[in-house]
Amino acid sequence: MTEQHASSMALQGLKVLEMGQLIAGPFASKMLGEFGAQVIKIEPPGVGDPLRKWRKLKDGTSLWWHVQSRNKQSLTLNLKAAEGQEIVRRLVAEADVLVENFRPGTLESWGLGWDTLSKINPRLIMLRISGYGQTGPYRDRPGFGVIGEAMGGLRHLTGYPGQAPVRVGISLGDSLSSLYGVIGVLLALQERQNSGMGQFIDVALYESVFAMMESLVPEYDACGYIREPAGSALPGITPSNSYPCNDGHFVLIAGNGDSIYKRLMHLIGRPDLAEDPRLAHNDGRGEHAERIDAAIAEWTRQRDRDQVLEALNQALVPAGFPYTAADIVKDPHYLARQMIETVQTSAGALKVPGVLPKLSRTPGRLGAGGPQLGEHTDHLLAGLGLSGEQVRGLRERGII
């Protein structure tokens, strides 16, 4: 990245203090850091963020860490100690944004709640992500993404009827909350330009999932309809499903647009279904979903996956197949759009996802992998005016 690029990044000059751990808070900070913000990540001395030991490790460090914590500076600090809390207050005085995802009341118990910190820095924007939010009868309950996905309504819809609810193998509830958190931070930054004042943003995991649930509630309110799991289909949207091929693979076909549906039916040799007036629009097709899906499956079963996809692409029918990591890293479209990049990390050169969203004039930065624990502690404390002797004393007392 050139100096010219560095000086023209969208969030250049923004100082972010991250006091969260694991996923929801740190993912939000990651996005801010990718667009030029200075992100100072506070971690417990000796152990650091538990994510450092999650999933697959290389040289003792999580490979996930090098995605989640890129572009961050690591400062070790004992937040339970008065001296550590005082350092946070000094950092807050210079910060634009503070991100935290502790259980509600935790920061307050350390003397670092919103009322205290906003008096130190009235321009501070504080992003607070928790399982159930800062208010309400459930506020004190611990909550991870899986619980947010359950309470938000998503888990009831996953899987097949009559079977145990399944999960997507990623922390979707946490990441959705991070995205809403970043939106909140950007809104607050925009408003601060007018008022000169900061504010706090209250994001709950379950609400972030619930916001994705489309017409779930009005369908129940108006019709008494409770949506149920439907396997690979999308109930009421037809055709949109997975279909078997003769080589053991599946393809995903989304032929639910009216004109797309007609092209698909002619392609598979079913002009009768294409021209049936009852099936001209989605409401009618939804009533005949099984019949339509059976016709498509009969066609796909006679061909291998590549043949099916080639024919569908030629007919301009949206189609694809479930990509694995191996498919992703070699796909020419991923590569052409710089969505697979290589960075240098403590574990060596590592392929990682690229940066989103893509800005034309002030694009984001990939940067380096995640920092080593406490890598920037001395530098950051010196920037606060602490002497080398003071830093050594803090280290001897276990504050850093």
The residues annotated as belonging to the active site are 174
Beta bridge partners of 253: 241, 319
Edge-to-edge strands, sheet with 240-244: 240-244, 250-254, 319-320
For residues 278 and 60, what is the distance between their CA atoms, to the nearest angstrom? 61
In terms of C-beta distances under 8 Å and separation of at least 24 residues, what long-range contacts does 135-138 make, across chains too?
135/202
For 195-218, b where at least 16 C-beta lie within 10 A, e where not — what string? eeebbbbbbbbbbbbbeeeeebee
- How many Cβ atoms are within 10 Å of 246's Cβ, its own excluded? 13
Q: What are phi and psi of 315, to 5 degrees?
A: -85, 0
Query: Nearest-5° angle of CA 17, CA 20, CA 24?
Result: 115
Reading the block at residue 33, the tokens are 């850091």
Beta bridge partners of 252: 242, 320
For 81-104, b where at least 16 C-beta lie within 10 A, e where not — what string? beebbebbeebbeebbbbbbbbeb
